[in-house]
Amino acid sequence: MNIETESKPWVSSSKKESVVLETLDGLEFQKVCGRIFEKLQYGRVEVCPYTGDMGRDLLIQTNAGLIVVECKHQPNSSIGRPVVQKLHSAAISSRAIRGILITTGKFSVQAIEHAKSLAPPIELIDRNILTDLATQAGMELILEGKKHTVLTYPVSSNDKLQDRINRSINSRFKSYPEIASKLLRIKNRGFAMYPSYVIQYDVNATFETSVGVIHRENAENRIILIDGNEGKLLKEEIAKHIKSASLTVYDESTYKDSNLKKVSFRIDDNTLKTLSMKYISNFHTKNKTYWGKNNQKYTKLCVPNERHIFISNTKQVYVPFQQIELQAFKIKYDITAIENSENLLCYTKMFNCSVCGGYIKDTKTLCNSCGAIVHNKAILDSHSFECKICGKTLCRKCTYDLGFNKKVCKECALKNGKDLKPLSVEMNQHTILGILFIIGGSIGVLMNFLLLTFVFIIVGIGIMLSNQKSQAPPYEFI
């Protein structure tokens, strides 16, 4: 049985390409500028490797000749006269017809004045002109400082998501005759938008006592996520998971055909600042022990404060928590997942065995009769079987015993003319064998085989304890 997924337009971003400048590094910014010139059909654009600073980041071959371009992604600074001079020299030595200097910041008055007098000419493009050019090229540039642009992480289309899940689950399941990805299909999908602030920061703290430096706490480009509604700290695994994911502008129409829940942003800037400092400080607080001059051991709590913490970036982001419902036959599995470009961070109970309820660490068996996920075959009290006749993988509840330990599926049992009851879910082989060993050991006492008795009783207890269930981890990657 193959449950069809409805195709809904869960496209990864709006049709118009939008670029959030603050999320780009120098080379990425160069490439974006190159793309703008390409779309405006200036000529053939070549992006130069981002090494050293030769005063030329892009080369544009036009019909009239070469244009050299220098790109400065420095939103908070003003470009001075020396940068203009440098590009001018580069233009001369490259025999260019023109130079173009781009900045996401501003130009100083001296730079503007100087550029006016040059030949070959140097054209200055500041953030406003750049935004206009981008618009003409059909792109939307989101500049830093344009506050309250809510961003989000892109999500895959339904088909692509199913592909990603398939790739990951087939290797984790024993499933016959159908492979796991044939049976486990996305049945429903919804989105819960979690209002969050992504806080990027550096920490640079040195802790000293009379004996000298006892601890240095250094961190660069770390991020934490703060819930924008209640101000709680989001789990560390989420921050790690989405750190490398690309951002796009949040556009509600992307989700217009799907079940969307959205919580609003509520905390104000001051609260956010205070909370960020508090969380970052807590996160980097360490207890250090050291030896004092009098040869005594001391402990000092090293707490970074506002002087040690530099918040380099704050982004307002809707983190999409996807509610995915997978279905195999009539059994449904719920997954709450967050995507990045590699995999899905998942909170789910689907890997708990449907026979014993315990977590299944390694390969799982997928019952091809009912869709249950169960522990692999075991010697005692097995939670799964393979049909002795057709080979179908079965959970215990779908297994029938033809006698002489011949375990089969329902269809094969019926073909054999037998209408039996499926195996009981009550299991006692562990207990029986354990008790047998303990009784055996006790008999040993009577016969004075003390060492053997000891071994028997330990093995007996071991067998009984080996039946214990393992606990599910807090999250999984699919």
Which chain residues interact with Zn ion by CB under 5 A? Answer: 353, 355-356, 367, 369-370, 372, 375, 383, 387, 389-390, 392, 395, 398, 409, 412
To the nearest whole angstrom, how small is the minimum distance from the Cβ of residue 432 to Zn ion? Answer: 18
User: Looking at beta carbons, which residue is closest to Zn ion?
Assistant: 353
To the nearest whole angstrom, how small is the minimum distance from the Cβ of residue 333 to Zn ion? Answer: 14
To the nearest whole angstrom, how small is the minimum distance from the Cβ of residue 388 to Zn ion? Answer: 8
Cβ closest to Zn ion, residue 114 vs residue 383: 383
To the nearest whole angstrom, how small is the minimum distance from the Cβ of residue 169 to Zn ion? Answer: 17
Q: In 12-126, at which residue ranges do the beta strands (DSSP E only) sit?
A: 17-20, 44-47, 58-61, 66-72, 78-79, 98-103, 106-107, 122-125
Which of 396, 385, 326 has its CA nearest to residue 355?
396
To the nearest whole angstrom, how small is the minimum distance from the Cβ of residue 415 to Zn ion? Answer: 8
Residue 396 and residue 410 in contact, taking contact as beta carbons nearer than 8 Å: no
To the nearest whole angstrom, how small is the minimum distance from the Cβ of residue 474 to Zn ion? Answer: 20
Which of 68, 63, 101, 69 has its CA nearest to residue 82?
101
Cβ closest to Zn ion, residue 212 vs residue 417: 417
Cβ closest to Zn ion, residue 200 vs residue 416: 416
Cβ closest to Zn ion, residue 138 vs residue 177: 177
Query: Rounded to whole angstroms, how far apart are CA atoms 44 and 66?
Result: 10
To the nearest whole angstrom, how small is the minimum distance from the Cβ of residue 329 to Zn ion? Answer: 8
Residue 223 and residue 198 in contact, taking contact as beta carbons nearer than 8 Å: yes
Cβ closest to Zn ion, residue 87 vs residue 180: 180
Q: What is the dihedral of CA 413, 414, 419, 421, to 10 degrees?
A: 40
Which of 193, 323, 251 has its CA nearest to residue 9?
251
Cβ closest to Zn ion, residue 156 vs residue 393: 393
Q: Which amino acid is at 41?
A: Q
Residue 448 and residue 398 in contact, taking contact as beta carbons nearer than 8 Å: no
162: tokens are: 């199913």
Which of 381, 394, 387 has its CA nearest to residue 428?
381
User: What residue has token string 């770390």?
Assistant: 222
To the nearest whole angstrom, how small is the minimum distance from the Cβ of residue 284 to Zn ion? Answer: 42
DSSP secondary structure string, 356-419? T--B--S-EEE-TTT--EEPPP-SSS-SEEE-TTT--EEEGGG-EE-STT-EE-HHHHHHTT--
To the nearest whole angstrom, how small is the minimum distance from the Cβ of residue 328 to Zn ion? Answer: 10
User: What residue has token string 């695994």?
Assistant: 237
Cβ closest to Zn ion, residue 313 vs residue 470: 470
Query: Strand, helix or coil at 3?
Result: coil
What share of residues in the chain are helix, strand, coil (percent, to 5)? 30, 30, 40
Helix ranges restricted to H, 3-95:
26-39, 81-93
Cβ closest to Zn ion, residue 247 vs residue 356: 356
Scored b (16 or more CB within 10 A) or e, 131-161 reads bebbeebebebbbbeeeebbbbbbbbebeeb
What stretch of H or E contains 203? strand 185-209
Residue 34 and residue 71 in contact, taking contact as beta carbons nearer than 8 Å: no
Cβ closest to Zn ion, residue 338 vs residue 409: 409
Cβ closest to Zn ion, residue 130 vs residue 372: 372
Report how far apart, in Å, the C-alpha atoms of 243 and of each of 222, 319, 338, 342 are: 9, 12, 12, 12
Query: Rounded to whole angstroms, how far apart are CA atoms 1 and 456?
Result: 49
Cβ closest to Zn ion, residue 282 vs residue 466: 466
To the nearest whole angstrom, how small is the minimum distance from the Cβ of residue 303 to Zn ion? Answer: 47
To the nearest whole angstrom, how small is the minimum distance from the Cβ of residue 203 to Zn ion? Answer: 45
Q: Are strands 58-61 and 66-72 parallel, antiparallel or unpaired?
A: antiparallel
Cβ closest to Zn ion, residue 50 vs residue 329: 329
To the nearest whole angstrom, how small is the minimum distance from the Cβ of residue 260 to Zn ion? Answer: 35
